[in-house]
């Protein structure tokens, strides 16, 4: 499945429940929450990595909970895009698609991190989950001696990139207009 297929899913489908239906509103609210979680999580990860990628192994903050917080939060955001248009199905499809893509990217990046940080990375990989944070890692603040180096530029850049995840909200309004005026005809209703 590729990006054009995902775009087609958005263009030629519509939610089963119409605007104003409480189920549609709840799904869209969950989508908005996922998008905000994505933005906040990506900024949190950017604060901790602070432009030090491949210079130092970062194991604090979100990197103490998952080895790939930027990818994890991006996946949450992409699921949020699907939910924000009122579709649980699109949320699940976007989540699965991004998870598969990021899994491939993560495997490649792990080989590079092994080369840069060898035993230190292997020890880190044994205790911190690859993608999904463990519940205990979320609830308990990990003990760390790492000193975080914050770089405002890295945070600003990540914040601006993360704001792109909000773009589907106004685009959905355009899509509703196109559907409502018969310019694009939805072919399938999705839950």
CB 82 within 8 A of CB 92: yes
How high is the pLDDT of residue 110? 93
What are the DSSP E strand ranges found in 88-180?
A: none
CB 54 within 8 A of CB 119: no
How high is the pLDDT of residue 127? 92
Check pLDDT > 80 for residue 54. Answer: no
Q: What is the pTM (predicted TM-score) of this model?
A: 0.82
How high is the pLDDT of residue 132? 95
Q: How many CB atoms within 10 Å of residue 13? A: 19
Secondary structure (3-state) at 13: strand
CB 175 within 8 A of CB 11: yes
User: For residue range 124-176, what is the model confidence (pLDDT) as tens digits?
Assistant: 999 999 999 977 756 565 555 555 566 677 777 877 887 788 887 787 778 88
* Residue bearing the bigger pLDDT, 179 or 5: 179
User: For residue range 80-97, what is the model confidence (pLDDT) as tens digits?
Assistant: 999 988 899 999 999 999
């Amino acid at each position: 499945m590729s990006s054009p297929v995902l775009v087609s899913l958005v263009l030629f489908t519509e939610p089963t429940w119409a605007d104003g239906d409480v189920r549609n509103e709840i799904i869209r609210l969950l989508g908005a929450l996922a998008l905000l979680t994505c933005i906040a999580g990506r900024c949190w990860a950017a604060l901790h990595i602070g432009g030090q990628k491949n210079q130092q192994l970062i194991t604090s903050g979100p990197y103490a909970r998952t080895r790939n917080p930027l990818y994890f939060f991006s996946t949450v955001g992409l699921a949020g895009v699907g939910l924000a248009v009122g579709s649980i199905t699109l949320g699940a499809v976007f989540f699965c698609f991004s998870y598969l893509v990021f899994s491939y990217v993560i495997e490649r990046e792990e080989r590079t991190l092994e080369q840069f940080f060898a035993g230190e990375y292997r020890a880190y990989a044994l205790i911190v989950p690859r993608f999904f944070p463990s519940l205990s890692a979320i609830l308990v603040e990990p003990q760390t001696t790492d000193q975080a180096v914050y770089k405002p530029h890295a945070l600003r850049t990540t914040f601006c990139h993360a704001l792109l995840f909000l773009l589907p909200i106004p685009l959905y309004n355009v899509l509703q207009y196109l559907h409502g005026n018969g310019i694009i005809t939805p072919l399938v209703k999705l839950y």
